[in-house]
Amino acid sequence: MTEVVATIAFWVFAITAVVGALGVVWAKRVFHSAMFLTVALGSTAAIYVLLSADFLAAVQILVYTGAVVILVLFAIMLTPQSVELPTFAPGGQQLGGVIVALALLALMIAAITNQPWPLAAQPLDQPTSFGLGQGLLTTYLFPFELASLVLLVAMIGAILLARED
């Protein structure tokens, strides 16, 4: 029964993620792009739940839809543009973009399907919070401290850049 539910859930959320992503790229108004981005990021969180990454799914919602999307919305509000301006690149560049994206997709799908992945005997399906916490404070302590430094620098930089003077 869980197999059936998992497969249905995967297809539902994969389709909403792709629809959301396409909406970000194709929406005429920037606000709608931000709404589609929320849909895409929320569907990604659901995919993480399917992959048993419970902590990561909660963090994805907390950070991406709870902070980054609101940041994007603030930026949209603070940079109003008249709606008549062209939002898409000229036709030639768009065609080039489509070709590049499709070529890259074909290359990646070919690489994925032809690669003999070293699959584990049992997929890793255990609660992750404890393991992640332990790893962050023992094996990955240095990247953890560096990431906090990166966030500090980003905070100070963003405040300085966006100031009125």
Partner 1 sequence: MPGLNQFLILGAIIFCIGIYGALSRRNVVVLLMALELMLNGVNITLVAFNRFLTPPAGVSSSPFAGQMFALFVIAVAAAEAALGLAIVIAVYRVRHTVQVDQIDALRG
Partner 2 sequence: MTIPSFLNDLIGQIGALLYYLLGLVLPAWLTVLLVTLIGIAVAVTFVAVLVMSQVWAERKVIARIQDRVGPNRVGPFGILQSVADALKLLTKEDIVPANADRLVFALAPLVVLVPSLMIFAVLPFNWDATIARLDVGILYVLALATFPTIGIVMAGWASFNNYTLLGGMRAAAQLISYEVPEVLSVMPIVLLAGTMSLWGIANAQQGAWYILAPIVGPLAFVLFFTAGIAEINRSPFDLPEAESEIIAGFHMEYSGMRFALFFLAEYANAFSVSAIAATLFFGGWHGWILPGYLWFVIKTYVLFLVMVWARGTLPRLRYDQLMNLAWKIMLPLTLVNLLLAALLKTSGFMESVLSFGWLGVLILLAINLVVVYILYRLYNQLFRAVRGSAGLPLLEATQPATQGARP
Using CB under 8 A as the criterion, which residues of the chain lie in contact with partner 2 when the complex forms?
Answer: 1, 4-5, 31-32, 35, 38, 54-55, 58-59, 61-62, 65-67, 69-70, 73-74, 77, 127, 129
Q: Would you call 71 helix, strand, or coil by DSSP?
A: helix
Q: Would you count residue 8 as binding partner 1 (CB under 8 A)?
A: no
Q: What's the closest the beta carbon of residue 154 comes to partner 2, in angstroms? A: 15
Q: How far apart are alpha carbons 13 and 21 in whole angstroms?
A: 12
Q: What's the closest the beta carbon of residue 71 comes to partner 1, in angstroms? A: 6
Among 74, 137, 141, 145, binds partner 1 (CB under 8 A): 74
One-letter identity of residue 18? V
Q: Tell me if 93 sits within 8 A of 99, measured CB to CB.
A: no
Name residues contacting partner 1, limited to 42-61 (CB under 8 A): 44, 47-48, 50-53, 55-56, 59-60
Number of residues located near partner 1, criterion CB under 8 A:
87
Name residues contacting partner 1, limited to 93-132 (CB under 8 A): 93-94, 96-98, 100-102, 104-105, 108-109, 112-113, 117-120, 123-125, 128, 131-132
Given partner 2, partner 1, none, residue 8, with its beta carbon under 5 to 8 Å by kind, binds: none
One-letter identity of residue 117? W
Positive or negative: CA dihedral 73, 75, 77, 81: negative
Q: Tell me if 76 sits within 8 A of 31, measured CB to CB.
A: yes
Closest C-alpha among 45, 4, 149, 55 to residue 157: 149
Q: What's the closest the beta carbon of residue 142 comes to partner 1, in angstroms? A: 11
Closest C-alpha among 5, 4, 3, 17 to residue 46: 17
Q: Tell me if 24 sits within 8 A of 40, measured CB to CB.
A: yes
Q: What's the closest the beta carbon of residue 136 comes to partner 1, in angstroms? A: 7
